[in-house]
Amino acid sequence: MFDALMIEKTADGTQSVHVGPVADDRLPDGDVTVRVEWSTLNYKDALAITGRGPVVRQFPMVPGIDFAGTVETSAHPGIAPGDRVVLNGWGVGEKHWGGLAGRARVKGEWLVPLPDAFTTRQAMAIGTAGYTAMLCVLALEHQGITPDRSPVLVTGAAGGVGSVAVMLLARLGYHVAAVTGRPGEQDYLTELGASEVLPRDGFSGPSRPLEKARWAGAVDVAGGAVLANVCAAMLPDGVVTACGLAAGMDFPTTVAPFILRGVTLVGIDSVMCPRPRRLAAWRRLAELIDPAKLEAMVTEIPLADAPATATALLDGKVRGRIILRAP
């Protein structure tokens, strides 16, 4: 038996969430069983737990799109009992039971060896949010956005992806402009390395086809009007990485930034990202993460508090990263 947070749905479509014991024989198919040590609460997990978004594809479901822990049993070549591993994405917490539990059974190819630089707790302090932020930074580098081509804009900067993106970009020497809707987070973002903190109001209204060119690169977690405003204000040959939809799935813009300034919009898919890119991201994270700054962005909660915290996260009341010790 192990404890898990379970989402269930009745015949009339009513969703319920509870924490309780689950028998091992209910675990889904997979060739590796992991003793989960730490997991996280991400934006997608919050949508699943609250039912505000159609994240869960089948019920009952254990949410949690990532986890870190130690392998208990394995029938997968190259993975052995005792290995420390991390998982991000692959539909876990959506179509396959996820990490908000004491145990998980998954396909071995979904797992990445945990770098020696990190404890399993630190791995989940980074989590899918930090791994996604690293993918954004790698994409900016691949597109030629180097520190001498700053500034780089980060939207949703006080959230999970944004916080890690600010820290990584600052560590690499970029001039980072952090956008947030919470003025009280200015000191927090400055401590992470932001060179300037900008109010979200300046990015949330209707955009013109082109705005004053200001940004060489951008990490956008918002989508919607925010992404449109960011694209309109890019410098010539600027690069925008898009990895979220906190402000909406629509994209109310024109082709002007792309054909008049040569702006590149790069989509970041952390869920089905190929394994070599995942390994590269975790290697770079091991090189760049400042443990003290990472700890400063972490809030630890018990599993029983996940439903209430999920609501707060969607309401924009959560800073940084939320981690949970497995029960």
Query: How confident is residue 247, by pLDDT bands cut at 50, 70 and 90?
Result: confident
Mean pLDDT of 59-78: 96
Instruction: Round to whole Å and give the CA distance between 73 and 283.
Output: 25
Range list for CATH 3.40.50.720 in the chain: 127-267
What are the beta bridge partners of residue 265? 240
pLDDT in tens, 123-138: 999 999 999 999 999 9
Mean pLDDT of 92-96: 95
The CATH architecture to which 127-267 belongs is: 3-Layer(aba) Sandwich (3.40)
Cis link prior to 60 (omega < 30° from 0)?
yes
pTM value?
0.92
- Lookup: tokens for 310: 């999920």
Q: How far apart are the first and last CA of the chain?
A: 11
pLDDT at 13 over 90: no
- Please list the helix, strand and coil fractions of the chain in percent, rounded to the nearest 5, in that order: 35, 30, 40
Please tell me the distance from the alpha carbon of residue 273 to that of residue 282, in angstroms, as a whole number.
Answer: 13
Percent of the chain with pLDDT over 70: 100
Q: What is the pLDDT of residue 169?
A: 98
**Residue 150: pLDDT band by 50, 70, 90 thresholds?**
confident
Are 101 and 2 in contact by the 8 Å Cβ rule? The answer is: yes
- 2-114+297-325: in CATH 3.40.50.720: no
